[in-house]
Every structure is written in structure tokens, then in C-alpha cells.
Amino acid sequence: MAKPKFHFNPVTLMYERVDNSFRHWFRQFLIHFLSSISLGLLFFIAFLFLFNSPKEKQLIKENKALKAQYNVLNKRFDIMQEVLTDIEQRDNNMYRVIYQADPIDHSTRTAAYGGADRYKNLMNMSDSEVMVDITQKLDILAKQLYIQSLSFDEIVNLAKTNEDKLKHVPAIQPILNKDLTRTAGGFGMRIDPVYGVPKFHAGMDFSAPTGTDIFATGNGIVTSTGWRQGYGNTIVINHGYDYETLYAHLHRILVREGTKVTRGDVIGLVGNTGKSTGPHLHYEVLYRGRAVDPRNYYFMDLSPEEYDAMIQISSNYGQVFD
């Protein structure tokens, strides 16, 4: 049997017996062990919440980069959408008008793919909202491109089968851009320069110096020349395919009734005759006897930028010369 051991207690100033039993030793071990575990857990939890691991730091960095890339993609999508929308408007308002093809409505161009279930598998992914948003935009853009591609195929086929018609349809400006002072007034309600009241303007006014060349805008036959009340010296060309063009306020007429003209032929000179307040050409396009907006019939000699500028100018000016 082991001899008992004592140690001096400086507080009580007495010798106290030391407990060397296994039970005492085991209890002390458990106390120190549990204390160490608790302290270790405390440091681990503090480190876990206060500090990021190298892998977490890398993931955070990658996540920021992905979000930045997403923002860039979003801006690119918006730009592409604007360009495509412009192409769609040109398709409906210009190309399809030329061949009397029905415009494609917006709902057909942007119809959704397969409903909400199409994106169900993306909802379980991290950043699911971002993934669904960008996927939807891609789907809509792809659908619009597909519809537009089909529309252009249809236009090409119409052009091939209507080659002669294309030569006759009015398709250029009647005055060269270099000769224009400005496009004075466009198609629609405008202020009458003489009476100062709103009046429907059935064509476009091109302001240019007296004597400027005027061109036939499509192949056809001159059906009328001479003086018209309000219009002054006037030329009317029948282009066939239900199209006519009218050129008014001319200084001089250079063709006769019955003359066959080709697109680009000089048919008269800009003047200031009839009810006119300045030298200009009043130009009308008629389809099946009704005046239509001439802006839709300059597709052969205007670039997209020139066309947009012409649209802007003719829309802004409220007053006309006749």
C-alpha cells in the first residue's frame, strides 16, 4: 500500500494530505480535457465566423468577378436588344411595306419558351435569380433572332419573285442629299404656312435652291404634267403595282405625258410655284390612290444613319412650305 503524501498549504499553514486515488486523478483529467476541448471549440468557432479560409477568400473573389461579368453581359444584352428592336421596326415599317407583307406583331416575336417550368431546374442552383434572368433574356433574344431570320428569308423570296416590281416601286429620295437645304416638313398633321391652322400634309417637303434636279423615284410612265391648283407645276408618274408619285411646285417640267422614265431620271427642277412660301419640292407617294408616308420609300439610297436622321428631321418640323 502506497504511503500517503502531504503538501504544505500556505493559506491554512497546515500540511494537507494529497489525494492520489485513481478516481481523483481521472476527475482531474476529465476537467482538464473538457476545458481544453471547450477552449478549442471556442477558438474554432471564433475563427470560423471572423476569418475566411483561403478557399473561401478565393470563392468570394470569383463570385465578385462573376457578378461584374453578369453586369457587363446585362448591358450587352440591352444594346443587342436595342439593335434588334430597330431592325424589327425597319422590317415591319419598310421592308414588309414594300412587298405588302403583313407586319409581324410584337407578341409573336417575343413569345416565351415553354412557360415557367423551363427554368425550374435552375432554381436549385446558387444565384438562381441571376441564372434564371440571364437564361430568359437569352431565350427571348434567340426567339426574336429566329423570327427575324424567317422574316428576312420571306423578304428575300418576295424580292426574287418581284424583281420587276422592285424596279418600279418608289425607292429613293427625289432630291440628292447634297442639294438639300433641309427636309422642311413630313407626312401628317402640320401647320399651314399661309393660314396658320393645322392641316393634313399628304407628302414631304424638300427645301432646295431653285433649279435643283428632281429625280424619278422609280420606273414608270408620266401620266400628268402641268399646273394644278395649289400645287403649281406638277408631275404625276404611274409606277404600276398600284403606286403613283407626285412632284409639285416645280420651276420647270422636263418630261411630257406618256414619257417612260427610269428611276434616277431627271424629270424637273425645284421651284416656288403654286401655294408655296419658298423654293422646295413637295413629294407624295400614293398607293391604291391613297397618300402614304414617303419616309418608308427611301430604302435604296439612304444608309441606316441617314435614314434615322431624315426620320428625326421630318418628325420635328411642324411647319411646311405649302
In a domain, 17, yes or no: yes
Final residue before a domain boundary, out of 115, 134, 161: 161
Q: What is the pTM of this model?
A: 0.50
Do residues 154 and 223 both lie within one domain?
A: no
Same domain, 43 and 74: no
Residue 169 located in a structural domain: no
| Domain count of the fold of the chain | 3
Q: Which of 104, 131, 161 is the last residue of a domain?
A: 161
Task: Specify whether 264 is located in the same domain as 191.
Answer: yes
| 202/305 same-domain check | yes
> 119 and 78 in one domain?
yes
Same domain, residue pair 60 and 43: no
Same domain, 191 and 285: yes
Residue 184 sits in the same domain as residue 308: yes
CATH of the domain at 195: 2.70.70.10
**Residue 220 domain flag:** yes
Domain assignment of residue 77, yes or no? yes
User: What is the layout of strands, in order, in the sheet containing 213-215?
Assistant: 213-215, 266-270, 250-253
Residue at a domain's end among 161, 185, 200 = 161
Residue 205 to residue 193: CA distance in whole angstroms = 12
Position 171 in a domain? no
Q: Render each residue's pLDDT in the chain as its tens digit; 322 residues.
A: 556 666 667 777 777 776 666 666 777 778 877 888 887 777 777 666 666 677 777 777 777 777 777 777 778 888 888 888 888 888 887 777 777 677 888 777 776 655 556 556 555 555 666 667 777 777 778 888 888 888 888 888 877 777 788 889 898 889 887 766 555 566 665 655 555 556 667 888 888 899 999 999 999 999 999 999 989 999 999 999 899 999 999 999 999 999 999 999 999 999 999 888 889 899 999 999 999 988 888 877 666 666 665 555 555 454 555 5
The dihedral of CA 204, 259, 289, 225: what is its sign? positive
Residues 243 and 298 in one domain: yes
Residue 167 in domain: no
* Residue 168 maps to a domain: no
**Same domain for 305 and 215:** yes
Within this chain, do residues 190 and 99 fall inside the same structural domain, yes or no? no
Tell whether 166 is covered by a domain.
no
Whether 185 and 311 share a structural domain: yes
- The boundaries of the domain holding residue 249 are 177-316
Give Rg (Cα) of the chain. 41
Residue 64: the pLDDT is: 79
